[in-house]
Structure 1
């Protein structure tokens, strides 16, 4: 029996590698098809649970996660390169906007936020979705870590109008009326200023943010 040539061995190796690649690709594709819908639904459920904290589902009847607007990077929102705005409607009428925002000047770095603002121009709620503030000090911006369970610090923004004076978006130390924890002014100041920027952004762009998708 003749021994396989070097060329034959090369061809066999190439065929084996091709077969392996095809099988592996098919397995990966199959796994993706079986799981991607479940993963997508899980991600959507997590987003809704987060939004639920600042905007109850009873306030809208549209498909919130699919009635969205992508806005380009803006100094007003502090998010780059772009961010999502969710539009809540009830009976076809505008109810609220939920916006992604960020405070780049937190003590531990950028503080990611979501802000709900009603069609009447009043803030419905604010939440920090990601931050690296000092545990026990600046992390009170997160209501889950705020020791004031009955009235978390972050709730001071609720019902404030986007047309409110500048003092509404400053902590007391800077001449405003937002309380803060002694020794952790930077965290409170960063969030307060960021919410103020979002308020001004919505005041300026309200109509286009609520406009139905074309």
Structure 2
């Protein structure tokens, strides 16, 4: 009985060790995959040659309701030869047609939009999903714009008297995205310089 108990204990210990090893290997692979995916998303909004660091590893977390949530969100910092080059803000459009829309908005140090991409959404396929770059080029219409181009009060869709197109048969989705980008620019104008300073979280 003692031998059997010792054997059972050894098998149990081996099993626990094996599970822990598999979990560690799996966790490492998942984290590596997530880091790779994040970098690919950042490369989609940051022009090649605009930065020399890895912005996916240069991150601050910020908290401001203008970014669409009360939860802290990551801000990725792009630098060129150590100098500030651009920020990629994570912003939520909470008023999408089918729910919140998560965006990445890249803004250079002059406050000009370098690129916008949708990270996550639940908008209607074939209609609201035209916000995706693979569906249409609508999202590229923000590139080169700033709070002065167009004026701040025109940062909405044409149906509301703004400067940006809506989709045929869909207004709510592009309106939500356009206003979210404008709020990201508002936040950047106020906090852009400070975000390049080291800190764990802004409130």
TM-score interval, normalised by the smaller of the two chains = 0.7 to 0.9
Residue 63 (structure 1) shift? 2.6
Match of 2:72 in 1: 82
RMSD of aligned residue pairs (Cα, Å): 2.3
| Structure-to-structure mapping, 1:34-45, within 5 angstroms | 34-45=25-36
Residue 138 (structure 1) shift? 1.1
Instruction: Return the alpha-carbon distance in structure 2 between the equivalents of residues 117 and 92 of structure 1.
Output: 17
Q: Quick one: structure 1 residues 34 and 133, their matched pair in 2 at CA, closer, same or farther if it must change by over 3 Å? A: closer
Local SS of the residue matching 1:100 = strand
1:141-184 alpha-carbon deviations (Å, 9 max, x no partner):
112122xxxxx111111111145522341111111110111310
Match of 1:99 in 2: 89
User: Does 2:174 match 1:184?
Assistant: no
Instruction: Return the alpha-carbon distance in structure 1 between the equivalents of residues 92 and 190 of structure 2.
Output: 18
Residue 51 (structure 1) shift? 1.2
TM-score by length of 1: 0.83
Structure 1: stretches of 5+ with no match in the other structure: 147-151
Match of 1:59 in 2: 50
Instruction: Return the alpha-carbon distance in structure 2 between the equivalents of residues 114 and 168 of structure 1.
Output: 21
- Which aligned segments of 4 or more residues in structure 1 are displaced greater than 6 angstroms? none
Contact 1:163 1:203 survives alignment (8 Å) = no
How many correspondences in the alignment? Answer: 198
Structure number with greater Rg is 1
Match of 1:118 in 2: 108
Contact 2:47 2:114 survives alignment (8 Å) = no
Residue 64 (structure 1) shift? 1.4
Local SS of the residue matching 1:99 = strand
